[in-house]
Amino acid sequence: MASATQGIAGGAQAPGGPFREALARFERELDVPYPERAELLDEIASDLEAAYAASRARGLAEAEARAAALREVAPDAPALRALAEVHRPAARRAMERLPRAARALAEPAALFLPFALVVFLLASEVPLVLFLREGGAATVLVLLLGGLALLLNLEKAFRWFVLRDHSPASLAGHTPTPLYLAAATALAGLGGTALNAYVVLARAGEGLIPPEALPVGLRESLSCAVTGLALSTLSVLLHGAVAAGRRALRLPERRCPPAPIP
Amino acid sequence: MQEAQSPRGAFLVLLALRDGPKHGYEIAAHLKERSGGVFGLSFGALYPILHRLEKDGLVSGSWQEVGPAKKKKVYALTRKGEAALGAEKARYLAFAGALSKLLREA
């Protein structure tokens, strides 16, 4: 199905040409989550086209027919507010019912609790802490970078798919930062492992580590790289899932709909 | 715009869909034409009504391809919508009858 969003961007929907600017303005002004917003724009576009065709059939010139169609079909500010009310997501309604103080706590709690639960389960099921300690001090940096990448993706997913906040300010958060952080996590992990291996080999060379303990030392130094690559992969996968979710919801790829051409 | 909030707006839309599925522009044109311009619903009022009725399950919307890269959303009454229309119609008929009686006496 061609979307109005695509229509505005690429003229896929028929009236994308004559009504392009008006549709772009509705897209900015509608406080309706996607994909409902995209479908609503498609609907307005098809009604604009029908009104335009009817005006042309009555003998109106092209510009007059376009103006008449916009007068007849274009939703006004109260209509946009009424549409926003009809399509307000259940999660946002529930949040809005909470007192302000409770709402301020509920959003971070809803975001951090699943994250904390996963960390707790991993820590209790596998000797995670021992494994992380084998990686040395560099693991702290790896955990900070990887954790931040994961949190940024989780925060986006929560805002866009649970709260369904698709306001321009919210959509502006669609940046590749988590990917850069994932790359930094992998590099920090590999760097930490290289540094640990260098130290192990240097100590072995000085006779501080017996030869039979060398494989153990080298294996332990791998912990940092394993942690970094695992967190990095998880972040990239989560980023991909969020991007796929955006496409499924027909969220615009741009950071926000374009400003009208003066 | 008050039509969007009033039950009359919803009733008018259900009435317009009684004789078959229609898209938004057809609904507005149908009401204007059949009521002689008395009950014209602006699109500003029509979209919120249609979407509310769709959410409430009284009408169902579906997309129809009408040409290459062109489509329109067509609304149809559901069974729940037919029942709601019947009940509302009975209410309006009773109201109209009572009002007509009062007007005759005036």
Please answer yes or no on whether B48 and A83 come within 8 Å at the CB atom.
yes
Residue type, B70: K
Question: Is the Cβ–Cβ distance between B89 and B78 less than 8 Å?
Answer: no
The overall average pLDDT reported for chain A is 82
Query: Which burial class, exposed, middle or buried, applies to A222 when counting CB atoms under 10 A from its CB (0-12, 13-18, 19+)?
Result: middle
Please answer yes or no on whether A49 and B70 come within 8 Å at the CB atom.
yes
Question: Is the Cβ–Cβ distance between A78 and A86 less than 8 Å?
Answer: no
Please answer yes or no on whether B47 and A49 come within 8 Å at the CB atom.
no
Token code pair at residue A250: 């027909």
Which residues 44-103 in chain B show a CB within 8 A of chain A?
A: 44-45, 47-48, 51-52, 55, 63, 66-67, 69-73
Mean pLDDT of A196-213: 90
Interface of A with B (CB under 8 A): 1-2, 12-14, 39-40, 42-44, 46-47, 49-51, 54, 72-76, 78-79, 82-83, 85-87
Q: Percent of chain A scored above 90 by pLDDT? A: 21
Predicted confidence (pLDDT) per residue in A210-253, tens digit:
888 889 889 899 999 999 999 999 999 999 999 898 888 888 76
Question: Is the Cβ–Cβ distance between B40 and B32 less than 8 Å?
Answer: yes
Predicted confidence (pLDDT) per residue in A78-131, tens digit:
888 888 888 888 877 887 788 888 877 877 787 778 778 877 777 776 677 778
Cis peptide preceding A35, ω within 30 of 0: yes
**ipTM greater than 0.90:** no
Q: Which residue reads 């996968």 in tokens? A: A237
A256: closest CA of chain B, how far (Å) = 24
B102: closest CA of chain A, how far (Å) = 36
Mean pLDDT of A62-71: 87
Please answer yes or no on whether A86 and B1 come within 8 Å at the CB atom.
no
Q: What is the DSSP string of A126-182?
A: S-HHHHHHHT-THHHHHHHHHHHHHHHHHHHHIIIIIS----HHHHTT--SHHHHHH
d(CA B55, CA A90): 13
Q: What is the DSSP string of A220-251?
A: HHHHHHHHHHHHHHHHHHHHHHHHHHHHHTT-
Q: Which residue reads 């391809």 in tokens? A: B65
Q: Which of B54, B25, B58, B56 is nearest to B42 (CA)?
A: B25
Low-confidence winner among A13-27, A104-118, A143-157, B30-44 (lowest mean pLDDT):
A13-27
With beta carbons under 8 A apart, name residues in chain A contacting B44: 75-76, 78-79
Question: Is the Cβ–Cβ distance between A146 and A180 less than 8 Å?
Answer: no
d(CA A74, CA A25): 10
Confidence of residue B6 (pLDDT cuts 50, 70, 90): low
- Residue B62's DSSP bridge partners are B74
Check the CA dihedral B12-B75-A77-A13 and report its sign: negative
B104: closest CA of chain A, how far (Å) = 38
Question: Is the Cβ–Cβ distance between A71 and A48 less than 8 Å?
Answer: no
